[in-house]
Amino acid sequence: MQPHRFILQAFDLEYGHPAFETMFLVERLEELRALLGAAADEDPELEMLYTLDPGDLAAINHRFGLAFHPGGRVTRLTKWIHNREPPYLVHTGFELVLMIDGRKSFALMGESYPPHQHYDEDLFDRHVALGTLHKEVQLEPFAEPVRYRDGRILEGYRTVYYTLKGQEWRIPAWKLVFEASRKSGWNDHFERLQGMLFGYEEWQNDWWLSDIRRRNIRWGVLSLYLAVNENELTAIDDAGHRALPLRSKPLRLLAATWEGPEEAALRGLLEEDGTAAVVRFSVKAGRFLRELASDPQAGRHTLSGERVKDLNRLMVGEIEVVMPSAAAREC
């Protein structure tokens, strides 16, 4: 099993990005989870961003043999993600300082509302007031509010656009790109145009698109993982790996887009009684999230067995076995 990579960051609160950071390896997630305590109870794969108090940091330094000292700055812990692989700085998380430095021309922040504010909007607003940045806000109400069990109600989607002064043309240009993609679907050409509007250099866009092709990423689809039994595996094979069989019990789905799920998460699916394997299949992302997802922002979804037909209608490509059970491997 590959070790998990995590990053400790000393956070610059003035610009909302790490001033410096260090990477460390974790063999067993439960060791780090124990140090984080109750804050990690609802995050089995430790995919959230954690702000550490001095005691948390001291415990992590001691347990993993580190000597990370933030110099009075806020310390945050985050998991390594694919955006750290490129041989250049990906703008995500560094938007403000790169815009002020003139290295990024355009940024957008999109989140459901309320609240009517993204996490570091106050930092951006200071530079809007100073005349360094231009800002526009776009609200798109949902047809019906989304209501969660914890009482939260989301009314729509809020996008905030920022450009350098004199670069305001990039906002309507982006909106044209986005509207065109809604008609034909996102593709490599739209991805390159987006990179150009953001301010990436040509060689950086070349690398990014080459990496997308290398990883066989398909636009507009969502990968789903499901535990199936031996009879269901046989039925999938009989259907040419193009459809899931009908079932009475619920479908417990693990979702992934660009970042594949951790091996531990897949093994967790194998714990269901009678499971022979975990399979992966792709669905049309937009329709799945609108029509079937139990929570559009969640990484796990539970559907009733009767929704198999609806799921099959959204399927793109073939169903693959990605992890057989230990019993199946021994056969």
Which is nearest to 270 in space by CA: 248, 243, 252?
252
pLDDT value at residue 260 = 62
Residue 161 lies in a domain: yes
Same domain for 112 and 194, yes or no, is: yes
Amino acid at 272: E
Picking from 214, 246, 280, the residue at the C-terminal end of a domain is 214
Domain residue limits at 38: 4-80
Same domain for 134 and 238, yes or no, is: no
Same domain for 161 and 183, yes or no, is: yes
Residue 88 lies in a domain: no
pLDDT value at residue 159 = 93
pLDDT value at residue 261 = 65
Q: Which two tokens stand for residue 198?
A: 């953001």
Same domain for 208 and 225, yes or no, is: no
pLDDT value at residue 257 = 65
Residue 171 lies in a domain: yes
Picking from 214, 240, 258, the residue at the C-terminal end of a domain is 214
Task: Say if residue 329's pLDDT is above 70.
Answer: no
Q: What is the pLDDT of residues 25-66, one digit of tens each?
A: 999 888 999 999 888 888 888 888 899 999 999 999 999 999
Same domain for 140 and 117, yes or no, is: yes
Same domain for 32 and 101, yes or no, is: no
Higher-scoring residue by pLDDT: 272, 142? 142
DSSP code per residue over 128-142: HHTTSEEEEEEEEEE
Q: What is the pLDDT of residues 78-102, one digit of tens each?
A: 998 877 889 998 988 889 999 999 9
Same domain for 251 and 325, yes or no, is: yes
Task: Say if residue 169's pLDDT is above 90.
Answer: yes
Average pLDDT score over residue span 192-204: 96
CA distance 119 to 9: 17
Residues ≥6 apart with Cβ < 8 Å to 307: 251, 292
pLDDT > 90: percent of the chain: 48
CA distance 301 to 288: 11
Which pLDDT band, with edges at 50, 70 and 90, does 219 fall under?
confident
Q: Is 6 left (phi over 0), alpha (psi -120 to 50) or beta?
A: beta
Would you call 316 helix, strand, or coil by DSSP? strand
Picking from 169, 191, 214, the residue at the C-terminal end of a domain is 214
HSE-CB of 85 using CA atoms within 13 angstroms = 11
pLDDT value at residue 161 = 97
pLDDT value at residue 186 = 86
Give ∠ CA 207-6-112 in degrees, rounded to 5: 75
Residue 90 lies in a domain: no
CA distance 51 to 61: 15
Residue 319 lies in a domain: yes
Residue 87 lies in a domain: no
Q: What is the pLDDT of residues 183-195, one digit of tens each?
A: 888 899 999 999 9
Task: Say if residue 295's pLDDT is above 80.
Answer: no
Task: Say if residue 258's pLDDT is above 70.
Answer: no
CA distance 6 to 78: 6
pLDDT value at residue 296 = 67
Same domain for 76 and 28, yes or no, is: yes
Which pLDDT band, with edges at 50, 70 and 90, does 297 fall under?
low
Average pLDDT score over residue span 125-134: 95
Same domain for 192 and 283, yes or no, is: no
CA distance 41 to 295: 19
Q: How many domains is the chain partitioned into structurally?
A: 3
Task: Say if residue 196's pLDDT is above 90.
Answer: yes
Q: What is the pLDDT of residues 2-32, one digit of tens each?
A: 788 999 999 888 888 888 999 999 998 889 9
Same domain for 231 and 320, yes or no, is: yes
Residue 86 lies in a domain: no
Same domain for 59 and 113, yes or no, is: no
pLDDT value at residue 115 = 86
Residue 188 lies in a domain: yes
